[in-house]
Structure 1
């Protein structure tokens, strides 16, 4: 897996932006949207922690910011992983529903940014409109379920088992690759479940796992995944605003975390554009998934069985 073009040409980027080129405009809109949200909805210094519902110390806030940067770097490198890394850590300290709602904003920014960065556009939508529609439908159902029911630790527990199962499948299957394979039923099912699981728990490994198996072209893999996830998070945010889950404070907090995440995203994007050995990349992906799954199990098994 090798991608080139790691050099950043700021002057060319600005020229393309002023010429309203799709790639540069999309990346800029994603960045400016969260910057504007962090400014417009700022609650004031005295109210910065008012809606977190936890005794959050300055040290813990710094830790949160570090986690956001790390998760952004992983997403920039792999095309997935932000929510899988950040959500379990945030939810272990603050109210889980709050974590799921707030952490919808940074992935929205990242995915819209990566849609532009990989130059994924309407051609993908025309080719995969069924996948997009099912993913959006799953997200709507998931948000309604989140606002109505409390799933507790069972959903993250099941997701951890799915992640471990996929990691073992990859290892013992020798990192099976089926170039550009397309299974409409499998892909549509993965998309619908991805939308539902992301809405309910902010953890959605199914579509990344599917794409990692059947689409190993890095730019297409990350671009297509970002297009679907961007649509899911857009719908999630709109429905949560309509349901009252996304309050102005939560919107500000999500935007503020997203602003910090930009640092990690840019770092991860740069690293991805260096030449990377495919075997090492695959082992890194699987190792990351195993660590994430074990971390989720560490938090959910005691709550369910002990």
Structure 2
């Protein structure tokens, strides 16, 4: 598992993802549950992408971004969940240093993409509700593509650099990662050197790529809510809130759990809490998103109904 030793520092070549090893008596049950969740995530998000592509009523910027978001969720969950399923099935928890670094890098890049894509979706709703006359001009197809591409690529260079910095640390004899994937907090815990500089870098990156988009979302929704409350009719206000409620629920689910994980002090980290929070924003939120968007969106429900009637 380990390479050459230098004093009390060892060059770790492999890690062990401990995952849910403390629940050894229900490994098969957990494999079944997480397999079902993975199938639901892939099927639900694929269905949303298909609906937004096929139904003419969904050829709008809002649904273009929703299709991007669904694709992102499938990629995001595929970085962590298949590996966890393999570990549960085979009980072989070993992961190479390169595979661990690759998993972390893609996880961070896709997490950054989610933050910015949620901010872009909030901006889309802001323009639609606060400046409806300018909406077709502002959110033209070229602008939509630029915003989507920007969301996908903006965090890549910094997150690659952050991953390289984390894995430049010297790790002690312990190589057991008390987590179900290679995340920053449990990896840093294995280091046997001063990690304050690395933790500061993680904090700055989290503020830049999570807190800034979140502040933009809050600003957009403060303007949106202010505009909706000024509408003269109750039906108009209800329609305005229903248009934004799905996105707002997803924002709260994702940002609250992710922020608690990455921005709370190191001293308050515990493996159990970290795993629970990580399960929430890496697996449960991608599973709930298609349900939230489909059940709370009349256009999506109508498109799904038309598709089912065609099949029948």
Provide the TM-score with structure 2 as the length reference: 0.30
Provide the TM-score with structure 1 as the length reference: 0.30
Higher strand share goes to which structure?
2
Q: Quick one: higher RCO (CA 8 Å, sep 6+), 1 or 2?
A: 1
Q: Whose Rg is larger?
A: 2
